[in-house]
Structure 1
Amino acid sequence: MSISSPSTGPRALTPRERETLTALLERGSDNDRDFPATAADRARWLAQVPQTLAGRSCGCGSCPSIELTDAEGYTPATGDRRVVLNAEAPGALLMLFIDEDRLSYMELAPLKDDSIATFPASTDIQPV
Protein backbone atom coordinates (compact mmCIF):
# COMPACT_ATOMS: atom_id res chain seq x y z
CA MET A 1 0.00 0.00 0.00
CA SER A 2 1.69 3.16 -1.14
CA ILE A 3 0.30 6.60 -0.58
CA SER A 4 1.19 9.44 -2.92
CA SER A 5 0.89 13.18 -2.75
CA PRO A 6 -1.40 14.71 -0.16
CA SER A 7 -4.92 15.52 -1.20
CA THR A 8 -6.75 18.77 -0.55
CA GLY A 9 -8.64 17.12 2.27
CA PRO A 10 -11.12 14.36 2.92
CA ARG A 11 -14.03 13.95 0.53
CA ALA A 12 -17.27 12.01 0.66
CA LEU A 13 -17.07 8.42 -0.50
CA THR A 14 -18.57 7.82 -3.91
CA PRO A 15 -21.63 5.54 -3.97
CA ARG A 16 -19.45 2.75 -5.43
CA GLU A 17 -16.76 3.19 -2.75
CA ARG A 18 -19.41 3.06 -0.01
CA GLU A 19 -20.98 -0.03 -1.62
CA THR A 20 -17.60 -1.79 -1.82
CA LEU A 21 -16.73 -0.85 1.76
CA THR A 22 -20.03 -2.22 3.02
CA ALA A 23 -19.64 -5.45 1.02
CA LEU A 24 -16.13 -5.99 2.40
CA LEU A 25 -17.37 -5.49 5.96
CA GLU A 26 -20.28 -7.86 5.45
CA ARG A 27 -18.58 -10.58 3.38
CA GLY A 28 -14.81 -10.14 3.51
CA SER A 29 -12.82 -13.12 4.75
CA ASP A 30 -10.84 -12.70 7.93
CA ASN A 31 -7.88 -15.06 8.00
CA ASP A 32 -6.80 -14.31 11.58
CA ARG A 33 -7.21 -17.64 13.36
CA ASP A 34 -6.18 -16.25 16.77
CA PHE A 35 -8.55 -13.27 16.85
CA PRO A 36 -11.19 -13.69 14.13
CA ALA A 37 -13.60 -10.84 13.45
CA THR A 38 -16.92 -11.45 15.20
CA ALA A 39 -20.43 -10.42 14.18
CA ALA A 40 -20.21 -7.71 16.85
CA ASP A 41 -16.93 -6.44 15.32
CA ARG A 42 -18.49 -6.26 11.87
CA ALA A 43 -21.57 -4.44 13.23
CA ARG A 44 -19.34 -1.90 15.01
CA TRP A 45 -17.30 -1.31 11.84
CA LEU A 46 -20.44 -1.02 9.71
CA ALA A 47 -21.65 1.71 12.09
CA GLN A 48 -18.56 3.74 11.11
CA VAL A 49 -19.42 3.75 7.39
CA PRO A 50 -21.78 6.78 7.40
CA GLN A 51 -19.04 9.00 8.90
CA THR A 52 -16.18 7.58 6.84
CA LEU A 53 -14.60 9.78 4.19
CA ALA A 54 -12.02 9.16 1.47
CA GLY A 55 -8.55 10.47 2.21
CA ARG A 56 -5.48 10.20 0.02
CA SER A 57 -5.52 7.81 -2.90
CA CYS A 58 -2.83 5.38 -3.93
CA GLY A 59 -0.35 6.91 -6.32
CA CYS A 60 0.27 3.85 -8.47
CA GLY A 61 -2.05 4.97 -11.27
CA SER A 62 -3.52 1.50 -11.78
CA CYS A 63 -6.00 1.19 -8.91
CA PRO A 64 -8.66 3.14 -6.98
CA SER A 65 -7.25 2.34 -3.50
CA ILE A 66 -7.92 4.98 -0.83
CA GLU A 67 -7.22 5.87 2.77
CA LEU A 68 -10.32 5.92 4.94
CA THR A 69 -10.55 8.90 7.23
CA ASP A 70 -12.80 11.01 9.43
CA ALA A 71 -13.88 14.63 8.87
CA GLU A 72 -10.62 15.92 10.37
CA GLY A 73 -8.56 13.80 7.99
CA TYR A 74 -7.45 11.32 10.65
CA THR A 75 -6.49 7.84 9.46
CA PRO A 76 -5.23 5.43 12.13
CA ALA A 77 -1.67 4.20 11.72
CA THR A 78 -0.87 0.51 11.72
CA GLY A 79 -1.34 -0.54 15.29
CA ASP A 80 -1.02 -3.55 17.52
CA ARG A 81 -4.42 -4.81 16.39
CA ARG A 82 -4.79 -4.84 12.61
CA VAL A 83 -7.60 -6.71 10.92
CA VAL A 84 -7.56 -7.32 7.18
CA LEU A 85 -10.75 -8.44 5.44
CA ASN A 86 -10.16 -10.01 2.01
CA ALA A 87 -12.34 -10.57 -1.03
CA GLU A 88 -12.03 -10.94 -4.75
CA ALA A 89 -13.70 -9.49 -7.80
CA PRO A 90 -13.13 -10.14 -11.49
CA GLY A 91 -9.45 -9.40 -12.14
CA ALA A 92 -8.66 -8.09 -8.66
CA LEU A 93 -8.13 -8.77 -5.00
CA LEU A 94 -9.71 -6.48 -2.42
CA MET A 95 -8.45 -5.78 1.08
CA LEU A 96 -9.96 -3.66 3.83
CA PHE A 97 -7.54 -2.67 6.60
CA ILE A 98 -8.92 -1.92 10.05
CA ASP A 99 -6.40 -0.49 12.50
CA GLU A 100 -7.07 0.04 16.20
CA ASP A 101 -10.75 -0.74 15.53
CA ARG A 102 -11.09 2.00 12.88
CA LEU A 103 -11.49 1.66 9.12
CA SER A 104 -8.18 2.80 7.63
CA TYR A 105 -7.53 1.69 4.04
CA MET A 106 -9.45 0.07 1.18
CA GLU A 107 -7.23 -1.51 -1.43
CA LEU A 108 -7.89 -2.99 -4.85
CA ALA A 109 -4.95 -4.91 -6.32
CA PRO A 110 -5.31 -5.78 -10.02
CA LEU A 111 -4.28 -9.39 -10.72
CA LYS A 112 -2.71 -8.54 -14.07
CA ASP A 113 -0.78 -5.54 -15.33
CA ASP A 114 -4.11 -3.91 -16.18
CA SER A 115 -5.38 -0.73 -14.61
CA ILE A 116 -8.70 -0.78 -12.79
CA ALA A 117 -10.11 2.72 -12.25
CA THR A 118 -13.08 2.01 -9.97
CA PHE A 119 -14.05 -0.39 -7.24
CA PRO A 120 -16.31 -3.28 -8.34
CA ALA A 121 -20.07 -3.51 -7.83
CA SER A 122 -20.96 -5.27 -4.61
CA THR A 123 -22.56 -8.11 -6.60
CA ASP A 124 -19.10 -8.89 -8.07
CA ILE A 125 -17.40 -9.14 -4.66
CA GLN A 126 -16.87 -12.64 -3.29
CA PRO A 127 -15.06 -13.85 -0.14
CA VAL A 128 -11.62 -15.35 -0.74
Structure 2
Amino acid sequence: MARSLTESEQQLISAMITSAKAADPSRFEAQEVWYQWRQELLGTLDRITVGASCECNKCPSVQLLLDGRVVPAGATQVILQAFISEGIVMLFIDDDVPSYLEIAPNPDVELDLPTQDALIF
Protein backbone atom coordinates (compact mmCIF):
# COMPACT_ATOMS: atom_id res chain seq x y z
CA MET A 1 0.00 0.00 0.00
CA ALA A 2 1.37 3.39 -1.00
CA ARG A 3 2.07 6.08 1.54
CA SER A 4 3.32 9.64 1.41
CA LEU A 5 7.01 10.38 1.76
CA THR A 6 7.99 11.27 5.29
CA GLU A 7 9.62 14.66 5.71
CA SER A 8 12.96 12.89 6.33
CA GLU A 9 12.61 10.81 3.15
CA GLN A 10 11.73 13.89 1.12
CA GLN A 11 14.72 15.80 2.50
CA LEU A 12 17.04 12.87 1.81
CA ILE A 13 15.78 12.41 -1.76
CA SER A 14 15.99 16.15 -2.38
CA ALA A 15 19.59 16.22 -1.13
CA MET A 16 20.45 13.24 -3.33
CA ILE A 17 18.93 14.88 -6.40
CA THR A 18 20.65 18.17 -5.68
CA SER A 19 24.15 16.98 -4.76
CA ALA A 20 24.80 13.26 -5.26
CA LYS A 21 27.27 12.12 -7.86
CA ALA A 22 26.13 9.96 -10.74
CA ALA A 23 27.56 6.44 -11.02
CA ASP A 24 28.03 7.27 -14.73
CA PRO A 25 29.01 10.95 -14.81
CA SER A 26 29.24 11.01 -18.60
CA ARG A 27 25.42 10.91 -18.90
CA PHE A 28 25.37 14.68 -19.41
CA GLU A 29 28.53 16.48 -20.44
CA ALA A 30 27.53 20.08 -19.76
CA GLN A 31 26.99 21.34 -16.21
CA GLU A 32 23.95 23.34 -17.33
CA VAL A 33 22.29 20.18 -18.62
CA TRP A 34 22.97 18.37 -15.32
CA TYR A 35 21.53 21.33 -13.41
CA GLN A 36 18.39 21.43 -15.58
CA TRP A 37 17.92 17.65 -15.27
CA ARG A 38 18.23 17.87 -11.47
CA GLN A 39 15.71 20.73 -11.35
CA GLU A 40 13.22 18.66 -13.35
CA LEU A 41 13.71 15.75 -10.93
CA LEU A 42 13.06 18.04 -7.96
CA GLY A 43 9.81 19.02 -9.68
CA THR A 44 8.58 15.42 -9.44
CA LEU A 45 8.92 15.18 -5.64
CA ASP A 46 5.34 16.25 -4.93
CA ARG A 47 4.15 13.35 -7.11
CA ILE A 48 6.34 10.70 -5.43
CA THR A 49 4.95 8.27 -2.88
CA VAL A 50 6.43 5.17 -1.26
CA GLY A 51 5.57 1.65 -2.35
CA ALA A 52 7.17 -1.56 -1.10
CA SER A 53 9.90 -1.60 1.53
CA CYS A 54 13.02 -3.72 1.20
CA GLU A 55 12.51 -7.22 2.58
CA CYS A 56 16.01 -7.59 4.09
CA ASN A 57 14.90 -6.11 7.43
CA LYS A 58 18.30 -4.42 7.78
CA CYS A 59 17.76 -1.26 5.77
CA PRO A 60 15.13 1.42 5.14
CA SER A 61 15.26 1.11 1.32
CA VAL A 62 11.97 1.79 -0.46
CA GLN A 63 10.37 1.62 -3.87
CA LEU A 64 9.27 5.02 -5.15
CA LEU A 65 6.00 5.45 -7.02
CA LEU A 66 5.02 8.24 -9.40
CA ASP A 67 1.38 9.27 -9.10
CA GLY A 68 0.78 6.06 -7.11
CA ARG A 69 2.16 3.83 -9.87
CA VAL A 70 5.29 1.71 -10.05
CA VAL A 71 8.02 3.31 -12.16
CA PRO A 72 8.99 0.69 -14.75
CA ALA A 73 12.61 -0.11 -15.49
CA GLY A 74 13.68 2.54 -17.94
CA ALA A 75 15.54 2.50 -21.19
CA THR A 76 17.93 4.89 -19.47
CA GLN A 77 18.88 4.62 -15.83
CA VAL A 78 20.95 7.00 -13.75
CA ILE A 79 22.11 6.05 -10.27
CA LEU A 80 22.92 8.94 -7.95
CA GLN A 81 25.10 7.88 -5.05
CA ALA A 82 26.41 9.24 -1.77
CA PHE A 83 28.10 7.64 1.18
CA ILE A 84 27.24 7.46 4.86
CA SER A 85 29.51 6.12 7.59
CA GLU A 86 27.45 2.90 7.72
CA GLY A 87 27.21 2.28 3.95
CA ILE A 88 25.99 3.84 0.73
CA VAL A 89 22.83 5.63 -0.40
CA MET A 90 21.69 5.30 -4.01
CA LEU A 91 18.78 6.94 -5.77
CA PHE A 92 17.75 5.11 -8.93
CA ILE A 93 16.31 7.27 -11.71
CA ASP A 94 14.55 5.43 -14.56
CA ASP A 95 13.71 7.47 -17.66
CA ASP A 96 14.08 10.68 -15.61
CA VAL A 97 11.81 9.52 -12.75
CA PRO A 98 13.03 8.53 -9.25
CA SER A 99 12.19 4.84 -8.86
CA TYR A 100 14.05 3.44 -5.84
CA LEU A 101 15.84 4.76 -2.76
CA GLU A 102 18.48 2.25 -1.70
CA ILE A 103 20.20 2.60 1.65
CA ALA A 104 22.74 -0.23 1.59
CA PRO A 105 24.43 -0.84 4.94
CA ASN A 106 27.92 -2.20 5.47
CA PRO A 107 27.97 -5.93 6.33
CA ASP A 108 26.44 -6.80 9.71
CA VAL A 109 24.94 -3.33 10.15
CA GLU A 110 21.28 -2.48 10.57
CA LEU A 111 20.43 1.16 10.06
CA ASP A 112 17.64 3.65 10.02
CA LEU A 113 17.01 6.26 7.38
CA PRO A 114 20.02 8.58 7.45
CA THR A 115 19.55 12.32 7.67
CA GLN A 116 20.59 14.50 4.78
CA ASP A 117 23.43 15.82 6.97
CA ALA A 118 24.91 12.31 7.14
CA LEU A 119 25.45 12.18 3.36
CA ILE A 120 29.02 12.38 2.09
CA PHE A 121 29.14 13.55 -1.52
TM-score normalised by L of structure 2: 0.90
Q: Distance in 1 between matches of 2:7 and 2:26?
A: 34
Report SS of the residue matched to 1:115. coil
How far has the Cα of 1:12 moved from its partner?
Answer: 0.6
Q: Distance in 2 between matches of 1:53 and 1:82?
A: 19
Is the counterpart of residue 87 in structure 1 residue 82 in structure 2? yes
Q: Which residue of 1 aligns with 2:21?
A: 29
Could you list the structure 1 runs, at least 4 aligned residues long, displaced by more than 2 angstroms after superposition.
none
Whichever structure has more helix as a proportion of its residues is: 2
How far has the Cα of 1:94 moved from its partner?
Answer: 0.3
TM-score normalised by L of structure 1: 0.85
Cα root mean square deviation, aligned: 1.4
Structure 1 contact 30–83 (Cα < 8 Å) conserved = yes
Is the counterpart of residue 122 in structure 1 residue 116 in structure 2? yes
Corresponding residue to 1:58 among 49, 54, 60: 54
How far has the Cα of 1:100 moved from its partner?
Answer: 1.0
Structure 1: which 5+ residue stretches go unaligned? 1-8
Q: Distance in 2 between matches of 1:84 and 1:58?
A: 18
Q: Size of the alignment, in residue pairs?
A: 117
**Fraction of identical pairs, as percent:** 29
Structure 1 contact 27–126 (Cα < 8 Å) conserved = no
Report SS of the residue matched to 2:113. coil
Corresponding residue to 1:70 among 66, 70, 73: 66
